[in-house]
Chains A and B, each alone.
Chain A
């Protein structure tokens, strides 16, 4: 479990992270979102003891990162897959870490196989593609069989097959009681992977909750046999709605309320579902744009 309390980081007169608090519970995947420069990486670096916070605390399984006797056995960290020595082979990179973590060499071969790098283990990391470095970074993070994973942009540079594989891996990890926090700009991927969201904008938390809760606000998509009649029926029921170009409606309200209002007016529905598509994308801009403009 990860606990962040009132974390603040100031550089001179600029505040990169302002009074940020959130928790990540075991058995869940939390997406950590925000535009570039919003303070995501700074927060993750404070969480992993790389950057001293100006004030506030961050703990992992109840301890400050620097107080973990052998952090790699508790928390797997991948902050930048590109930050690996290009002159070492993939296997050597993992063997070094395995030695530090006190795990047997066999574990290295296992992890290479698990991330699909066995064939490239003898090649130098300098020759790896970004996707391969991401896989190596994941292997490194999982090496000590940690209970917590902290991943910055893990899907960056991965092919669709790799992204799907990672989604499965993280969901499996969480279902076994693991705690995951990941940042990503691939919003579709985040929506498909995470259970909870923490959104940061201008150094402050602008949203924190379950994915379902946060997306629920974005409304219901409904299409009727008689678009004008349906529009009138729903408006009469006191629902705010927005006509879409193809005759469908996006309604601020649950599917149940829309269904009841339509049924009461005898309107025939062809389609009724939660409004999705760019749901997370809309939410993201809605949450972060005003802050970015104000800044």
Chain B
């Protein structure tokens, strides 16, 4: 008898009665909280972590390649930054795309939008968190580029060159942020990860190849890569209207359409 009761009480209960805790009073959701949550959601899945690790790994490899192929004379920071940020420019927008699409492909939109029914706020928080994430990742890459430059200086004996570092950094951060927002905007418009990525990577490239043949110089008005290049160089070559139009068509317009579409899209 004792044995039986002992077993009964010591066996771990599969379910325990719900413990009623006094919870703090309910408050609304601040925009800051939504941004923090979206930031966390971008890095708390395996795919998110793998992407960021891949970006950093590629940046390290690029800096390593740069170190083993040093030109004669002083090593320039711009070379290291350019090499290291290629992987960021290529892969970080994927995180932007996935921030938008994974809610629909993984169907977590069902939870996200029942807990936060004001969808445009949630989507805006995703854009902001994508920008914050791009700044953080870019900062790590910039630190790597600085380390690479210093190392090159020490190895070659030439003093490393840091000409116009401030301008280069401003251009690099801005370009990465614009790319990430563009990725997020495409993800918001097209809720399928694969399709959104495909369109994000192919459509602007297709335009930059076909546009000039069809429309000659007028193609510049929609050439977003040209715009990115001018922004990265911080010299618009007198093409401010063309630059603004490209950014407007490829980034601002998809952002607005994406916010509109994802706020009306039916959650299944």
Q: Which A residues lie at the B interface, using CB under 8 A?
A: 45, 48-52, 65-66, 68-74, 77, 79-80, 82-88, 92, 96-97, 99-104, 106-107, 110-111, 113-116, 124, 140, 142, 144-145, 161, 165, 169, 172
Bound state CA distance, A140 and B23, in angstroms? Answer: 15
Could you mark each residue 16-46 of chain B with 1 if its beta carbon is under 8 Å from any beta carbon of chain A, else 0?
1111110110111100011011001100111
Cβ-defined contact, A79 with B114, below 8 A = yes
Tell me which of A66, A77, A86, A169 contacts B106 (CB under 8 A).
A86
Shortest B38–chain A CB gap in Å is 10
Instruction: Give chain B residues whose Cβ lies under 8 Å from the Cβ of A114.
Output: 15-19
Shortest A107–chain B CB gap in Å is 6
Instruction: Give chain B residues whose Cβ lies under 8 Å from the Cβ of A66.
Output: 117-118
Bound state CA distance, A66 and B118, in angstroms? Answer: 7
**Given A83-B106, A87-B45, A104-B23, are A70 and B28 neighbors across the interface (CB < 8 Å)?**
yes
Bound state CA distance, A104 and B18, in angstroms? Answer: 15
- Between A70, A72, A83, A92, the greatest number of chain B beta carbons within 10 A of the residue's beta carbon is seen for A83
Shortest A37–chain B CB gap in Å is 14
Instruction: Give chain A residues whose Cβ lies under 8 Å from the Cβ of B110.
Output: 50, 79-80, 83
Decide if B69 is an interface residue (CB 8 Å cutoff): no
Interface of B is mostly: loop
Chain A residue nearest to B13 (CB atoms) is A116
Decide if B14 is an interface residue (CB 8 Å cutoff): yes
Cβ-defined contact, A49 with B114, below 8 A = yes
Bound state CA distance, A103 and B118, in angstroms? Answer: 20
Cβ-defined contact, B113 with A140, below 8 A = no
Tell me how many residues of B have a C-beta within 8 Å of chain A. 41
Cβ-defined contact, A48 with B37, below 8 A = no
**Given A87-B47, A96-B37, are A144 and B23 neighbors across the interface (CB < 8 Å)?**
yes
Cβ-defined contact, A48 with B26, below 8 A = no
Instruction: Give chain A residues whose Cβ lies under 8 Å from the Cβ of B114.
Output: 48-50, 71-72, 77, 79
Tell me which of B21, B29, B102, B117 contacts A65 (CB under 8 A).
B117
Shortest B41–chain A CB gap in Å is 7
Bound state CA distance, A110 and B20, in angstroms? Answer: 9
Instruction: Give chain B residues whose Cβ lies under 8 Å from the Cβ of A107.
Output: 21, 23
Chain B residue nearest to A82 (CB atoms) is B107
Bound state CA distance, A97 and B114, in angstroms? Answer: 11
Shortest B155–chain A CB gap in Å is 41
Chain B residue nearest to A68 (CB atoms) is B117
Instruction: Give chain A residues whose Cβ lies under 8 Å from the Cβ of B118.
Output: 66
Q: List 21 A-B contacts (CB under 8 A).
A: A45-B267, A48-B114, A50-B110, A50-B113, A50-B266, A66-B117, A69-B29, A70-B27, A70-B28, A71-B114, A73-B23, A73-B26, A80-B107, A83-B106, A87-B47, A99-B37, A101-B115, A104-B21, A104-B23, A113-B16, A114-B19
Known pairs A110-B18, A169-B18 / 9 extra A-B pairs, C-beta < 8 Å: A66-B117, A70-B26, A71-B116, A73-B23, A102-B26, A110-B19, A111-B18, A114-B15, A161-B14
Chain A residue nearest to B24 (CB atoms) is A102
Cβ-defined contact, A116 with B14, below 8 A = yes
Interface hits, B111-166 → A, CB 8 Å = 111, 113-118
**Given A50-B266, A71-B117, A96-B40, are A85 and B45 neighbors across the interface (CB < 8 Å)?**
yes
Chain B residue nearest to A152 (CB atoms) is B110
Instruction: Give chain A residues whose Cβ lies under 8 Å from the Cβ of B29.
Output: 69-70, 100
Chain A residue nearest to B266 (CB atoms) is A51
- Between A48, A52, A161, the greatest number of chain B beta carbons within 10 A of the residue's beta carbon is seen for A48
Cβ-defined contact, B102 with A116, below 8 A = no
